[in-house]
Structure 1
Amino acid sequence: MTTHAQISSQLERAPIVPLVSGDDPDTAVRTAEALRDGGLGVIEVVLRSAGAQRCMEAIVERVEGVIVGAGTVLALDQARSVEASGAQFVVCPGLVDAIAEHCLARDMPCFPGTVTAGEVQRAHAIGLRVVKFFPASLAGGIPMLKAFGSVFRDMRFMPTGGISPDNLGEFLALPQVLACGGSWLTPDDAIAAGDYAKITRLAEQAVTIARQVR
């Protein structure tokens, strides 16, 4: 099973988690390969469509050199299902104690979404030390993360929502930020056109920005 240390090690090299969505497993595999070729080794497949879990399974089975997780996990049964399908970590839009506690008991990395000090403190009390900060741009962005970092000194954050090449460097410059997540790396138009080279270029650009600030 993938551990927090393994994910953190991968994210230290390339602290960006691209979001992959869709219904077609072949397209998802090619997208994941393009991201990997651009230097990104941790991928979140968001469960926002009927075929998303099949896409995640295909990436787990067919794409070497990446850590694959399931995002937009809303319920405990869903967390159990994606774990059985090979998910190596779980990401939730919000904090649900039952999901977090299940993952902790299984030693499975879990990154629930938080947006308030109360939610971050609850996550800390449960035993989590890395949480998603979502939606980052609407929830106070960099000033809010700085405030959280001054209080929750042993917590790290993965801001997602409103992250782009324009502000990626500013977020990654914060010591309390482990990595940033985002869908700008997998634009719908590029995927529809089969322009996987563009996805690789976007991944390479993100890695370059990260290396400039870390």
Structure 2
Amino acid sequence: MNKKTKALLALLDGQPVIPVLKISDVAHAVPLARALARGGLPAIEITLRTGHALEAIRRAAAEVPEAIVGAGTILNPKQFEEAEKAGAKFIVSPGITPALLAESAGSEVPLLPGAITPGEIMAARDAGLDFLKFFPAEQAGGASFLKALASPIADVIFCPTGGVSAKNAMDYLRLPNVACVGGSWVAPDNMVNEGRWGEIEALAREASTLGKPA
């Protein structure tokens, strides 16, 4: 296990679910991060899918010290650099490119890149990456596909994201090569837009116990 994988796993600290967030109103960033952290999910991924994403990362990182704010949907070195400057503690990408690998190599911020095929996973492994995002998880074969990879590529672990929900999260978390899952169900759009932070906290608290002894 490489140094950056160890650093990222230490940040996640056994958290079974990483909330994957698309923030349309930057005013939601701080109360949302607080609600999720109170519920036991301090590590969050704010995706760069809206024009407010970088400011949302900046505010959550600065104003919610108990949160561990990551940036998702990073597609190129410029976005990596911008997210790092905004305060992101980890970077998530849907795939791997030579340019992203080069940017990551020059940064202390760990990269969690996506890979779905055996070839992509092996290429990532050759590049020294042994903790990968499996995305889009359900569409790429789901838990049964990842289970099949556990023996031939036993030294790579995954965070499946994409189609993961409260109903199927444990299918992934039971696997020996899965460290956590990413999902948006803990912060539904309607609850976020209506400021229902108590309900989101409750969903986070429930998710934070997945895979852990009762």
> Which bracket does the TM-score occupy, shorter chain normalised?
over 0.9
Please tell me the residue identity of whatever aligns with 1:206.
Answer: A
Contact 2:132-2:159 within 8 A present in 1 as well: yes
Contact 1:23-1:55 within 8 A present in 2 as well: no
Q: Deviations over 1:146-200 (max 9, x none)?
A: 1222111111100001111111112111111011001111101101111011111
In 1, Cα distance between equivalents of 2:55 and 2:7: 24
1:182 corresponds in structure 2 to 183
Describe the shift of the 1:6–1:127 C-alpha distance in structure 2 as closer, same or farther (beyond 3 A).
closer
Matched, 1:60 2:61: yes
Unaligned ranges ≥5, structure 1? none
1:19 corresponds in structure 2 to 20
In 1, Cα distance between equivalents of 2:50 and 2:136: 20
Contact 2:138-2:163 within 8 A present in 1 as well: yes
In 2, Cα distance between equivalents of 1:56 and 1:96: 23
1:31 corresponds in structure 2 to 32
2:110 corresponds in structure 1 to 109
Matched, 1:9 2:7: no
1:123 corresponds in structure 2 to 124
Describe the shift of the 1:187–1:89 C-alpha distance in structure 2 as closer, same or farther (beyond 3 A).
same
The count of residues paired between Structure 1 and Structure 2 equals 212
Contact 1:158-1:180 within 8 A present in 2 as well: yes
In 1, Cα distance between equivalents of 2:140 and 2:23: 27
Post-superposition offset of 1:84: 1.6
Matched, 1:86 2:84: no
In 2, Cα distance between equivalents of 1:10 and 1:175: 20
Please tell me the residue identity of whatever aligns with 2:176.
Answer: P
User: What's the TM-score, normalizing by structure 2?
Assistant: 0.93
User: What's the TM-score, normalizing by structure 1?
Assistant: 0.93
Q: Which structure has greater helix proportion?
A: 1
In 1, Cα distance between equivalents of 2:23 and 2:108: 28
2:101 corresponds in structure 1 to 100
Q: Deviations over 1:44-93 (max 9, x none)?
A: 00000111110010001000222111100011111111112211111111
1:44 corresponds in structure 2 to 45
Contact 1:38-1:202 within 8 A present in 2 as well: yes
SS of equivalent to 1:17: strand
Q: Deviations over 1:89-125 (max 9, x none)?
A: 1111111122123213323211111110111011111
2:212 corresponds in structure 1 to 211
User: Any runs of at least 4 consecutive aligned residues in structure 1 with deviations exceeding 2 A, and if so which?
Assistant: 2-7, 9-13, 23-26
Contact 1:14-1:210 within 8 A present in 2 as well: no
In 2, Cα distance between equivalents of 1:140 and 1:17: 20
SS of equivalent to 1:151: coil
Please tell me the residue identity of whatever aligns with 1:66.
Answer: A
Unaligned ranges ≥5, structure 2? none
In 2, Cα distance between equivalents of 1:114 and 1:23: 27
